[in-house]
Amino acid sequence: MSRYIATRAIRGANALVSEAEAMLNRALAEKGPETSVSFPNTAYHLPLIFGMTGKEIDTLGQLPEILLHARKLLHPVPSERQWTPYLGETLDSGMATLIAAETIEAIRYVYGLQPERMPGFELAGGTAFTSPDMEGAAEAALDGHLNGAIDDIQLRSWGIQLVDGRMPGFAAIVGCAKSNEAAVQIVRGLQRRNILCFLSGNVNGRSIIDQLNEEGVELGYDTYTVPFGTDTISAVYALGFATRSALTFGGLKGGQAREILRYNKDRVFAFVLALGEVDDLKYAAAAGAINFGFPVIADTVIPQILPTGITTYEHVVSLPWNEIDGADDLEKAERLVQKCIEVRGVKVQVANVPVPVPYGSAFEGEVVRKADMRVEFGGRNSRCFEYLRMAKLDDVTDGKIEVIGPDFSGVEAQGSMDMGIVVDVAGRQMEADFEPVLERQIHYFVNGASGIQHIGQRDITWIRVSTKAVDAGFDLKDFGKILHARFHSDFGAIVDKVAITIYTDPDQIDKRLSEARVAYDFRNKRLADLTDNAVDVFYSCTLCQSFAPNHVCIVSPERLGLCGAYNWLDCKASYNINPNGPNQPIKLGRICDPDRGYWEGTNSYAKIGSHGVVEEVAMYSIMENPMTACGCFECIVMLIPEANGVMVVSREDTSMTPAGMTFSTMAGMAGGGIQTPGVMGVGKYYLTSPKFISAEGGFGRVVWMSSILKESMSAELKIVAERQGDLELIDRIADERSVTSVEELLPWLEEHEHPALSMDPIF
């Protein structure tokens, strides 16, 4: 252990704790101890402090105790003659630094100084995110603000990608790269590997955030690049994120510091990349990260810390920029990224997709604005569809990509043209049931290309290609190359041959589109016929056990996984792709209780799958043995006893609910793999299923529902209302626009004659 690092970290920690104390004293004097402190949209208070100490900090007045704790963790700077190993002291100082940093950020929120406003900060290409069709735009920096703390909604929506390995980990990048080109290359290198980039800090006032901004890199949640703030202190949000992953997905409680740190070390593949000169505060913050098992890689000369008990790899690695092998900054940046991945042992899975633009899931959320667009297919001015069909092995030439019709060179800039993508798939293990499962992947596969935006599916597909992508050489055939590469890499077990035909010839499109529509109709009918009673196996999903060790989803045709990403057909396909994987068939056997949804097979599986935590699971009840949840549910269903019904809260809804809690608070009760009667995390399409809490009377029990669900699912809910025989049913359900407390709820329901009021008591 280097005395140099210990000295500097301890010095940095002492300084920051003192700074936090001074700020707090001032804030207490100016604002008063009752002033509330919080980060936006989180149920975890100040998350790092909550995780490490168990203290639920909600007011300024609670903070002095916390800083006292931080001060106790401080140590004197080692003297010249002292030769003890300093690791313990360094780690303590690191923890004190994080606590002080989070305190400072919390106080800054009180003063409106967080999230940070960038003077003259402008989004790449201006701030023209005005078109409503551009959903998923980079909200993070929308109004000239950096991101500040990450909210729980985002944490949960990344959850499934974190667990299924699509997102292997995160990089906390602190400082400023050697050049703008290097900055872009580092971030692109991480994005290509689907590693989240958290950006913070500066060197002499210049931040990597400035560099990326100058180069027009789109920052935000959707592109896996989150700008926290331009000082080192804001890097604490990365550790708050790490703490919350353990709380959200690992079922851990605030105060279980040891377990939280261990969880991160074992399951969260993260590292710190320190760019540019490392000062005392950066050493101190780095020492904080080492507590989590996150190594620090620096591009300057600093002493290294080799493996000890905490990590099996190096804690601190120095890879000085001018010593990195590489002809130019671009090559050096790529080497640096590789080194980071090596040190932390990040498991990266990337398909090699031979297209002339950067490729990876980090680009999935990228938006192509009209001004940056070369050509679009579908949308308002043209038709676009995609259709994947099973074919006989002999009829498919693997890798054949054909374009039938003209390319887009004749289309004026920002113009549009018709296109149809037909994918022929053959494989010994292929089944017609997998067609829709595979077809749905086209959206993700195409979106992975930087500069290509894909929205919708089937005959409402809408694809935009940016001028930048076309300048780089992207053409129609590249759609085929992407699909060919990804279907082989992701679905190799059921896909032996793939051929792609791109149609742009209008006559051909007419013909192919009507064929596709026949298939879409056929599949719709197949789905409608696919009921729980029509099958003899359900599927388990244990994908989330890497994060929530005792949680199992049981997926049936009429109840999809709570993340919304896996339905019964997906699980069936996944089982065929990987027979030892997370989706196993559950033979139903004898039905014990058709109303609540008990089978011999589901019960015995629930016990095994949950490692004995759950004895029985009712597929259709919220009150008796409800299914457990990990952390990635789309909605929470919760009993409102006073109203004899339930409310449904969307993950996207941040407002107050009649239960007196917001989604974030309830999420803590719903997750973690524990059965809680009256609370359930569900996928939103389960709401429309005839089997939705049918044990309690079904959809008629829904008395309150987030308006975003009503709006985004209006077509599906209309069908439910028809099924329930009450066309006004959805209008009888309250939402946050009309009702935010249980006192308001009851008269509202009476006025709107909600059916739940006259149903049997729910318990």
3-state secondary structure of 523: helix
- Are residues 110 and 24 in contact, defined by beta-carbon separation less than 8 angstroms? no
Asked if residue 544 binds ligand SF4 (CB under 6 A), the reply is yes
* Member of 561, 645, 658, 698 binding ligand SF4 (CB under 6 A): 561
Residue 155 contact partner, candidates Zn ion, ligand SF4, none, CB within 5 to 8 A by sort of partner = none
CA-wise closest residue to 272 among 200, 330, 322: 200
Asked if residue 48 binds ligand SF4 (CB under 6 A), the reply is no
CB 632 → Zn ion: shortest distance, Å?
Answer: 4
Nearer to ligand SF4, 281 or 632 (CB): 632
Residue 541 contact partner, candidates Zn ion, ligand SF4, none, CB within 5 to 8 A by sort of partner = ligand SF4
Nearer to ligand SF4, 186 or 586 (CB): 586
CB 718 → ligand SF4: shortest distance, Å?
Answer: 27
CA distance 282 to 513: 58
CB 157 → Zn ion: shortest distance, Å?
Answer: 11
Which residue shows structure tokens 């092995």? Answer: 393
CB 626 → ligand SF4: shortest distance, Å?
Answer: 14
Asked if residue 563 binds ligand SF4 (CB under 6 A), the reply is yes
- Are residues 236 and 98 in contact, defined by beta-carbon separation less than 8 angstroms? yes
The amino acid present at 257, given as its one-letter code, is A
* Member of 485, 630, 703, 729 binding ligand SF4 (CB under 6 A): 630
* Member of 28, 472, 565, 721 binding ligand SF4 (CB under 6 A): 565
Residue 272 contact partner, candidates ligand SF4, Zn ion, none, CB within 5 to 8 A by sort of partner = none
Q: Report the interface residues with Zn ion, using CB under 5 A.
A: 544, 630, 632
Q: Contact letters (x/-) for ligand SF4, 504-543, by CB under 6 A?
A: -------------------------------------x-x
Nearer to ligand SF4, 177 or 563 (CB): 563
Residue 146 contact partner, candidates ligand SF4, Zn ion, none, CB within 5 to 8 A by sort of partner = none
Nearer to Zn ion, 423 or 632 (CB): 632
Q: Contact letters (x/-) for ligand SF4, 566-585, by CB under 6 A?
A: x-------------------
CB 598 → ligand SF4: shortest distance, Å?
Answer: 20
Nearer to ligand SF4, 630 or 635 (CB): 630
Q: Rounded to the nearest 5°, which phi and psi values hold at 648?
A: -125, 120
CB 557 → ligand SF4: shortest distance, Å?
Answer: 14
The set of long-range contacts for 17-20, using a CB threshold of 8 Å and a minimum separation of 24, is 17/67, 17/70, 17/71, 17/74, 17/96, 17/97, 17/100, 19/100, 19/104, 20/67, 20/70, 20/100, 20/101, 20/103, 20/104, 20/107
Residue 561 contact partner, candidates Zn ion, ligand SF4, none, CB within 5 to 8 A by sort of partner = ligand SF4
The angle formed by the CA atoms of residues 45, 270 and 324, to the nearest 5 degrees, is 140
Neighbours of 420 (CB within 10 A): 28
3-state secondary structure of 98: helix
Q: How many angstroms separate the most distant Cα atoms in the chain?
A: 86
Q: What residues numbered 366-395 form the site for ligand SF4, per CB under 6 A?
A: none
The angle formed by the CA atoms of residues 306, 309 and 314, to the nearest 5 degrees, is 25
- Are residues 15 and 97 in contact, defined by beta-carbon separation less than 8 angstroms? no
- 508-530 b/e with 16+ CB inside 10 Å = b? bbeebbeebeebbeebeeeeeeb
Nearer to ligand SF4, 373 or 632 (CB): 632
CB 547 → Zn ion: shortest distance, Å?
Answer: 7
CB 549 → Zn ion: shortest distance, Å?
Answer: 12
- Are residues 163 and 332 in contact, defined by beta-carbon separation less than 8 angstroms? no
Nearer to ligand SF4, 311 or 540 (CB): 540
Q: Rounded to the nearest 5°, which phi and psi values hold at 401?
A: -125, 120
CA distance 77 to 12: 10
CA distance 539 to 526: 18
Output the DSSP codes for 575-626: HHH-TTSS--EEE--SEEETTTTEEHHHHHHHHHHTTTS-S---TT-SSSS-
Asked if residue 623 binds ligand SF4 (CB under 6 A), the reply is no
CB 548 → Zn ion: shortest distance, Å?
Answer: 6
CA distance 414 to 374: 5
The count of residues interacting with ligand SF4 (CB under 6 A) is 12
Q: Kindly tell me the burial class for residue 661, based on how many C-beta atoms sit within 10 Å of its own C-beta (0-12, 13-18, 19 or more).
A: middle
CA distance 140 to 263: 28
Nearer to ligand SF4, 103 or 584 (CB): 584
Nearer to ligand SF4, 155 or 316 (CB): 155
Q: What residues numbered 643-662 form the site for ligand SF4, per CB under 6 A?
A: none
CB 543 → ligand SF4: shortest distance, Å?
Answer: 4
Asked if residue 562 binds ligand SF4 (CB under 6 A), the reply is yes
CB 160 → ligand SF4: shortest distance, Å?
Answer: 5
CB 568 → Zn ion: shortest distance, Å?
Answer: 17
- Are residues 496 and 381 in contact, defined by beta-carbon separation less than 8 angstroms? no
Nearer to ligand SF4, 160 or 270 (CB): 160
Asked if residue 632 binds ligand SF4 (CB under 6 A), the reply is yes
**β-sheet with 296-298: strand ranges across:** 225-229, 196-200, 169-175, 269-275, 296-298, 316-318
Which residue number has the CB closest to ligand SF4? 561
Asked if residue 250 binds ligand SF4 (CB under 6 A), the reply is no
* Structural tokens at position 680: 């359930």
Q: Single out the segment in contact with ligand SF4 by CB under 6 A; choices: 97-105, 113-121, 126-134, 558-566.
A: 558-566
* Member of 9, 52, 74, 160 binding ligand SF4 (CB under 6 A): 160
Residue 679 contact partner, candidates Zn ion, ligand SF4, none, CB within 5 to 8 A by sort of partner = none
CB 131 → ligand SF4: shortest distance, Å?
Answer: 32
CA-wise closest residue to 160 among 583, 560, 568, 547: 547
| Beta bridge partners of residue 499, listed in sequence order | 424
CB 553 → Zn ion: shortest distance, Å?
Answer: 8
Residues that bind ligand SF4 (CB under 6 A): 160, 541, 543-544, 553, 561-563, 565-566, 630, 632
